[in-house]
Chains A and B, each alone.
Chain A
């Protein structure tokens, strides 16, 4: 059974703006799901509805078999949320703000758990510091600690590494990995496609309030991913010779690179015949390389296609 089952979820604001439209999505227990989408796509609205911050216009959300409205207490105890913004009580001590979060979700005090949590997030040494004394990266970790303080089964990370440095981002990824080992289901939104590529089991792409694709990450990259062959030419070309028209080549680097995109899984990729033709035309090249398109390339292409539709 899916731990999170969303059916027909929609949100239209009083202004008439449709932020979400008829979203259907199932998340399996223990998986890491990355929700990708440009700004204003509806990612945060969707998370907000599930967590109780936004009132939906329609649809249902079932969390671990329970309706998110009828059984809101049990549902919310299972969910932890790390919002995009660093919302903290500046004058509170770190240890107090964590214990407050745990109690707010109805959990009995557990100093040993809180200590371990703060140690895992490298905040134990700062437990008596006021929140305002923490660096941006530490505040981000504090937000995660608050969300985990009541031991949720599902963790929502809304842009968890926005504005953090590379080292901290890598730390976050490691932490997400260790949470998954403990059985926590993680749903994250991110602008960093490499983050989804690094961590996610499945990827969803949302644009204009509509979920346009949900796919297992590797399958998606295989299915929609293309390979790109780049030839570094000895002499620059002003235009692609007409004899090469059937390969739909592009010129790059001021005519010094010839680029060919092809489906690597196709029976005939067209690469050998292209290379023969280039040789026959006497076009010399000093180097060639191929590259698999990234999740980012796929994402940009998907959003572009959706916008064009």
Chain B
């Protein structure tokens, strides 16, 4: 008998994607609609009155930021909900008593949530073509970074899902921390537009590095160098993995 349980991983993966299909309107249509509204308001209405940011029109400039905004929130929400629901309904007993390793469990839940986030990201990118002609200088790198950012935030969401004791806790970090940091992290502007003091302060916002790196794959330029962005992403991934490893090793809020 092989020493893995890929059938178990696949079962959870399919289960989570089935939930995505069942909640089609809130999972898919809502983020696309919200993004379309951002394009209309910021890209077309306000953007037409703004100049270029660097060598890029404002409408095109906000595309990576809008994709990141949706992907951050969707990644966290999907993966935190995915692991929190079995805890809430009590069906986690089946997961914990199954022959799945911690790695396989994370692979299944985070893999499914990241799949959903990447799908949403790509749909938002496709939606943007209705409003503006997007420019992607490094498409392969863009896709790679999109996948890695989705995984990183899904891991973060997974941590929140294990940590949360109720639905309010499930929402509090995405809404009160991640959402403001994304808005203030250069989703809609370049930090070079800010005064030196605010520029320095903004550099303490970790989201800046992710949005900047992702924007670099579109236009070949960002607020910080691509190397720094990649290092920040790698650090965030490693940190989330370390926390999850600790949670499974100790059974934190999973086992008695």
- Chain A residues with CB under 8 Å of chain B are 13, 45, 48, 51-55, 72-77, 79, 81, 83, 85, 87-91, 100-101, 103-108, 146
Contacts and interface: CB of A to CB of B under 8 A. Distances in A.
Contacts of B201: none
Given A55-B256, A89-B89, A89-B91, A103 B7 contact: yes
Contact of A90 (B5, B22, B89): B89
A88 B8 contact: no
Interface string B85-104: 00001110111111111000
Nearest to B10: A103
Interface string B212-230: 0000000000000000000
Contact of A105 (B3, B22, B90, B99): B99
A157 to B, nearest CB: 14
A146 B256 contact: no
B11 interface: yes
A105 B8 CA distance: 6
A88 B90 CA distance: 7
A103 B10 CA distance: 8
Given A13-B256, A53-B255, A106 B89 contact: no
Contacts of A104: 7-8, 11-12, 94-95, 98, 100
26 contacts: A51-B97, A53-B255, A55-B255, A73-B1, A73-B3, A73-B5, A73-B99, A73-B101, A74-B1, A74-B99, A76-B99, A79-B97, A81-B93, A85-B90, A87-B91, A88-B89, A100-B11, A100-B15, A104-B7, A104-B11, A104-B95, A105-B5, A105-B99, A106-B5, A106-B6, A108-B7
A66 to B, nearest CB: 12
A89 B90 CA distance: 9
A76 to B, nearest CB: 4
Contact of A107 (B6, B7, B89, B255): B7
B7 A106 contact: yes
B251 interface: yes
Given A73-B99, A104-B12, A106-B8, A54 B90 contact: no
Contacts of A100: 11, 15
Contacts of A106: 5-8, 99
Given A76-B99, A103-B7, 17 more contacts: A51-B93, A51-B97, A52-B96, A52-B255, A53-B255, A76-B97, A77-B1, A85-B90, A87-B89, A87-B94, A100-B15, A103-B11, A104-B95, A105-B5, A105-B99, A106-B7, A107-B7
B97 A52 contact: yes
A91 B22 contact: yes
Contact of A53 (B3, B8, B22, B97): B97
Contacts of A13: 256
A146 to B, nearest CB: 7
Contact of B255 (A54, A81, A85, A89): A54
B7 to A, nearest CB: 5
Contacts of B6: 106
Nearest to B98: A104
Max chain B CB contacts within 10 Å: which of A75, A104, A146?
Answer: A104
A81 B95 CA distance: 11
A220 to B, nearest CB: 30
B99 A72 contact: yes
Contact of B98 (A76, A85, A89): A76
A13 B5 CA distance: 31
Name the residue among A76, A90, A101, A105 with the largest chain B CB count within 10 angstroms: A105
B251 A55 contact: yes
A106 B108 CA distance: 14
Contacts of B100: 104
A101 B255 CA distance: 20
A52 B96 CA distance: 6
Contacts of A91: 22
Contacts of B251: 55
B109 to A, nearest CB: 13
Contacts of B256: 13, 45, 48, 53-55
Nearest to A54: B256
A107 to B, nearest CB: 7
Contacts of A76: 97-99
A101 B99 CA distance: 11
Given A55-B256, A88-B89, A91-B22, A81 B97 contact: yes
A9 to B, nearest CB: 14
A176 B90 CA distance: 24
B155 to A, nearest CB: 22
B13 to A, nearest CB: 10
Interface in B224-256: 251, 255-256
The 8 residue pairs across chains A and B that have the minimum distance between CB atoms: A87-B90, A103-B11, A73-B99, A76-B99, A51-B97, A106-B5, A54-B256, A104-B98
Contacts of A108: 7
Given A13-B256, A87-B91, A90-B89, A103 B97 contact: no
B99 A88 contact: no
A278 to B, nearest CB: 57
